[in-house]
Each structure stands twice: as C-alpha cells, then as structure tokens.
Structure 1
Amino acid sequence: VICEIPAAAINCWLDDGGIDWTDRRLAAGLDITHPHMRACLLRLADEVRHPGSGSAILAELIARQLAIEVARYCQAIGEGPVSGGLSSWRLRRIEERLHMLGPPPTLGELAALCNLSPRQLTRGFRASRGCSIGDHIAQTRIDMAKRHLATPQSIKEIAFALGFASPSSFAYAFRRATGSTPRQFRQRRLSPPFSG
C-alpha cells in the first residue's frame, strides 16, 4: 500500500502552520520506523486488504491519525546537527537480536551487546529512531507474531516461540497492539477478500 499524505494534512496540526522542510527533516522522512506510524500503516493496509462495514470512513480516520503522527514526528526533529544517535552496526545488532525467537532482550542485554550503558543506549536509540527502545521491542514482537500467524503453527506454539509466558498473555499483548486477537487476525488473513 502506498500512502501519500498532502502537506496540508500535516501542516494543519502544527502550531506554527507548517514545517520548514530542511535537508535534515527530508532525510529523517526517508526511513520512519516510529511504532505509532507503523501501526497506523499496518492497520490501514489491513483495512484495504480486508474491508468491512464502514471501511471508507475508517480508512480516512486512520489516514488522519497517520497525518497527526507524521506532524508530531516532523516537529520533534531538531534543526541542529545529528548527534547522539547510534551507529549503524549497533542498530543492526539490536535488530538481529530482536528478531531471534524466545523472550525479548532486556535493556541491559542490548546495552552490553552495543558496549554502551543502558542510559546511553536509551538516548542514542531515541535519537536514531524517534521512539523509545521499549516501544520498538514491543512493535517488533507484534510484527513477528503477525508473520508467524500466517504459518500453520498453533497460537500456543507461536506464543512460546516469541517468549510469552502463556498463550493468554500473548493474546492480551497482541489484542492491545492490534485491536484483534491472534485468532481473529489469522481468520481475517485466511478469509478471501469480498468481491461484489
């Protein structure tokens, strides 16, 4: 799904009436991994693939939420030189660890992996990705769960493979993040889209 948002849809949410699109802001817009925006895009894609009652209105509301999230993201990008962010090798190590099966890593484990203190890691990650490392870990686990739900694995197997204490704790976390249970999500993925 390609989602184009007109500048006016973003600017209307900003106090100063618009964004000065500096090179730094344009560069930051090329790879937005903020969990709120990612969740909006995934929800929008799901709605487009599997429309239901009120789909057009719901898609418009999700797009408006996305515009607000983009406005907040762009407003938060400072104008000074990029500093305090993590190097690409550290970000790569974090991603590799997050995509391993089993319980999610602790902040201490990730900090040791990057040879940083937890405080340095926390600040550097936010400067690099625009979100907290905790939000990113949670979103990565949900994304992994969605991929596993497209396989024949049982929900119980998926829950334990992703390091959840029980299938019910997995279902709770998944529903809180996506608005549907793992079973509902799987059923929507498997049901063919309605064509009338």
Structure 2
Amino acid sequence: MTAPASALDLASLLCSRLCHDMLSPVGALSNGLELLVEEKDPEMRQRCFELLEQSAKASADKLKFFRLAFGAAGGFGDSVPVNEARALIDALAGSNGRVAVNWMFGVDALAKPAVKTLLNLALIGLDALVRGGTLDIGAEVNGGAIEIVVRAAGQRVAFDPAVGQALEGTLAASELSSKTAPAAMVQQLAASVGGGVQVHVTAESLVMGAVLPAA
C-alpha cells in the first residue's frame, strides 16, 4: 500500500478529467453555433439545431454525472435513490450507443459514499468498453455491508493496469493522472469508511467490486 495522493492533487486531477470529458460536447456546441450563423439552407439549419440539441443534452448529462460522482452533490441528503444513479449512468452510456447496461439492485437507496463508488466504477467500466459491450451493475445490502459489483464485458476490454493499481491503492501518488484519479478516489473513499475495493480483469471482462459499511 502506497501513500495516497493529497486531497489537493486528487481534486486537481479530477477537475482535469471533468474538463477532458466536457471538451467534446462543449466544442460541438461551439462549432454548431458557428455553422448556424453561416448556414442559409433551411434543411441544414434544422440539422444544426438537432446537433446543438444533442450536444447540449450530452453536456448536461455529463455535468449531472460528475456533480454526484466527483462533487459534494449538495442537493442530496445522506442517502441517494438508486434510480438517480441509474439515470445518470444510463444517460452517460446512452451517448456511447454501443454499450448495453443491465441493473441488479436489491435496495431503493444507498449512502452517498456507496453511490459515488458505484458511479465511478461504472465510469471505469465504460472507459474499458471502447469497442462496445455490456455493463452489469449490482448493489445490495448484505448484513452490515453494502456490496457493489460492476462487470464490463466485451471484445478486447481496454483496461489500463495503472487504473487497477489505483483501485487497489498500490499506485504511487507521483504516477497518478486524470485517467487514474477516479479509481484513486474510489479507493480512498472506501478506505476512509472502513471498506475495500477489488478488481479482476481478463481479455474480455473487467470485474470490480466494493464492500462498504452499511451504516
């Protein structure tokens, strides 16, 4: 186990990840507005409006996701309805178009640390499915523990070993990047409440699990 990254360094890297993911839809909005100003053909202008609408939705979906996954999410109490997490992940996966998401929830709500863990593991799973596939997400309370499982399956799963090391807490703080920051946050979050994270990867599947105290 290596020393965790400082809160400031981790926050900076998470901000970098957010900006990286927002660059594409926001850039599309900017490009669409420029085309709309120059375009005179009615059909092409309608197409521009459609593209603007799609980019605006993608931007809003990502901001809502990162607000809860990375941020304080002050609009929620100590627990968050699982349907809220489901809607955020479905929207994020929907913009991909090549990933089918399956859900297995045994509870109606989860503590905020558990929801943040679930969201970030789902984000890591989506990142691994660059060629498409399925994302299976489950959560239940077993005794005094919340058990979360995320399985990403598809052809040639693309999983950076550094992300796995960050999940397990063995990646040096000096080697963290915006790509591994969500995994590092999950590991630190789980450890801070007395829980843990495990990861298992093969050529065609990535399985990540977290166990957190229910209280």
Which interval holds the TM-score relative to the shorter structure? under 0.3
* Bigger share in helix: 1
Per the normalisation by structure 2, the TM-score is: 0.23
Per the normalisation by structure 1, the TM-score is: 0.25
* Bigger share in strand: 2
